[in-house]
Structure 1
Amino acid sequence: MPNTYSQIYIQLVFAVKGRENLIKEEFRDELEKYICGIVNGKSQKVLALYCMPDHTHLLLSVKPNISLSDLVRDIKANSSAWINDRKLLKNKFNWQEGFGAFSYSKSHLDNVINYILSQPVHHQKRSFKDEYLAFLEKFEVEYDERYLFEWIN
């Protein structure tokens, strides 16, 4: 889009269906590269990405030429197909419906990138549920608990 300039940074958070620990360390790096390829193919930019066994954090620099919902749909659909086509798991892999999207200013990027890349250490102290609810509260997002991710206790 000529003469369109933007600076939009979004952290996406989405979970594995049933919150099962299905993203294995053996293929995590390849999955992250594949997700980066999906994002790059949509002319968007990945700033940080970490796939935990049961959820994913993704920090993007996005242009206003694509719907965020369409981008997430494509990331989830194509990455699910990639896992299933390669038969990396015994059962079919799916992401849960929905996602969290949280915006940041440029001055916060270093902290958000470090936060995402240190997910394994972070989750030794805090559950995904606590983390996600904290995001919703921090960003003052109204939500209905009936429609949050399926939680495993």
Structure 2
Amino acid sequence: MRRAAVLALLLAGCDGWQASAPGPPPAPPPPGAVAQGEAARRLALAPPGPAVTPALLAHGADRYAIFCTPCHGASGAGDGPVVARGFPAPPALPAVAERSMAAIAENRARAHPFADRLSPEDRWAIARFVERMAP
């Protein structure tokens, strides 16, 4: 009898319960949004990227100066201002074999990743700029 009462109470709590119907698909992110999580990883690894143009390289140089120079230095030698203050020196960029979007997104040079700070377009521009830095 006790089990029946408990079962009746549990079932009474479910009265009127309905499974939610699938709604419309989620809206796309707003322009300029930076992808997070798995979406960011897919974007970071997506080949082959935009065509290399003077405008793309200029944009990459601008983003590099803002986000990369503090550690990597202006020439990519790993001698930026934070290194002069005791931060471990990152590898010299022209000597690094892989200078891809994923390397920037995951920041494989021991620092924090930049996937949440730089849009895929900015990462492509930086990657293409770094590829053309003098060794």
TM-score by length of 1: 0.27
Give 1 or 2 for the bigger CA radius of gyration. 2
TM-score by length of 2: 0.29
Structure with the bigger percentage of strand: 1
